[in-house]
């Protein structure tokens, strides 16, 4: 099987690769996205890429790698982030992710997409949103989370350790420049109010039977694998999620020195899943 990172695919004059800007409506806001459409008549399987908090790493390298492998890749911004209207919240991230997955079906004909082969892939908070979105929408055929942030596990930690709670408030406050309408206190409070309903281990029955990829990060101080990855793998094995694949890469939260390994792992997973 060819390596999608080794070379550019051939030019197709009848159906060239394109990179159109697209928009989606969610909660009264107009979400801005970029679609990476492969060459060829298609219809192409499509992957929604969900970035983290606040979104400094937006995973455009994955979108390009996916396109070279024959997948259409979508990158977009949530409500209240990076110039998009509305206010930012964890709930709005989940609502926006669901709205984009639904909205892609309306773009299928214009952009040679196959909505029957749709996967959601997320990093950090996006990993949380990817698993939550797939659990709520059976039409999502496969889901992957890299360095996923388990908001339910973090809420439990806040309840047990006031110092940890203060640390989350401070950390969230330090990332607000590209966001609007929120604060560290508001985000921690929303996480605590949701509690176990946002604990990713509880999604296992809803994901059973579908391909799930979990990638942990062994040198990560943002989502340490002992809290955010290892317990989730154990829970999905026990419930079980029959088509679970999991890895622990020795890298930091952004997978800074593992981007090629990340792309290859995700593409190999999608080839089996879709």
Classify 81 as helix, strand or coil.
strand
pLDDT score at 241: 96
Q: pLDDT tier at 51 (50, 70, 90 boundaries)?
A: very high
* Among 235, 169, 165, 164, residue whose Cα is nearest residue 200: 235
pLDDT score at 75: 98
Could you say which DSSP state residue 71 is in? -
Is the bond preceding residue 240 a cis peptide, omega within 30 degrees? yes
Instruction: Return d(Cα 186, Cα 90) in angstroms, integer.
Output: 10
Q: Mean of the per-residue pLDDT values for the chain?
A: 97
Per-residue pLDDT of 170-189, as tens digits, reads 999 999 999 999 999 999 99
Count of residues in the chain:
274
Q: pLDDT tier at 104 (50, 70, 90 boundaries)?
A: very high
pLDDT surpasses 90 at 270? yes
Q: pLDDT tier at 5 (50, 70, 90 boundaries)?
A: confident
pLDDT surpasses 70 at 1? no
CB distance 62 to 127 below 8 Å: no
Edge-to-edge strands, sheet with 244-249: 21-26, 29-36, 72-76, 44-50, 113-123, 142-146, 212-217, 244-249
pLDDT score at 128: 98
* Domains of the chain listed by start with CATH number: 21-150+204-273 (3.40.50.1820)
pLDDT score at 3: 80
Q: pLDDT tier at 6 (50, 70, 90 boundaries)?
A: confident
Average of per-residue pLDDT across 58-85 = 97
Per-residue pLDDT of 130-171, as tens digits, reads 999 999 999 999 999 999 999 999 999 999 999 999 999 999
Widest CA span of the chain, in angstroms?
60
Name the pairing type of β-strands 212-217 and 44-50.
Answer: unpaired
pLDDT surpasses 70 at 207? yes
């Amino acid at each position: 099987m060819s390596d999608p990172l080794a070379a550019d695919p051939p030019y197709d004059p009848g159906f060239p690769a394109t990179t159109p800007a697209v928009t989606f409506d969610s909660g009264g806001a107009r979400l801005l996205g970029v679609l990476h459409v492969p060459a060829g008549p298609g219809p192409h399987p499509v992957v929604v890429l969900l970035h983290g908090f606040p979104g400094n790493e937006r995973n455009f390298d994955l979108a390009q790698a996916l396109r070279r492998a024959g997948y259409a890749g979508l990158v977009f911004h949530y409500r209240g982030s990076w110039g998009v209207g509305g206010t930012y919240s964890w709930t709005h991230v989940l609502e926006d992710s669901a709205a984009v997955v639904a909205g892609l079906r309306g773009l299928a004909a214009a952009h040679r997409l196959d909505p029957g082969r749709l996967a959601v892939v997320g990093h950090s908070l996006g990993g949380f949103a990817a698993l939550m979105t797939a659990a709520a929408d059976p039409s999502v055929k496969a889901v992957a989370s890299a360095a996923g942030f388990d908001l339910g596990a973090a809420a439990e930690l806040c309840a047990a350790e006031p110092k940890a709670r203060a640390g989350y408030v401070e950390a969230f406050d330090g990332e607000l420049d590209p966001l609007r309408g929120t604060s560290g206190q508001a985000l921690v409070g929303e996480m605590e109010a949701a509690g176990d309903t946002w604990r990713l281990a509880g999604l296992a029955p809803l994901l059973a039977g579908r391909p799930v990829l979990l990638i942990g990060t062994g040198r990560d101080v943002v989502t340490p694998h002992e809290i955010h990855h290892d317990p989730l793998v154990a829970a999905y094995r026990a419930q079980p999620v029959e088509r679970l694949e999991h890895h622990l890469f020795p890298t930091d939260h952004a997978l800074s020195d593992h981007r090629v390994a990340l792309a290859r792992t995700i593409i190999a997973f999608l080839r089996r899943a879709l």
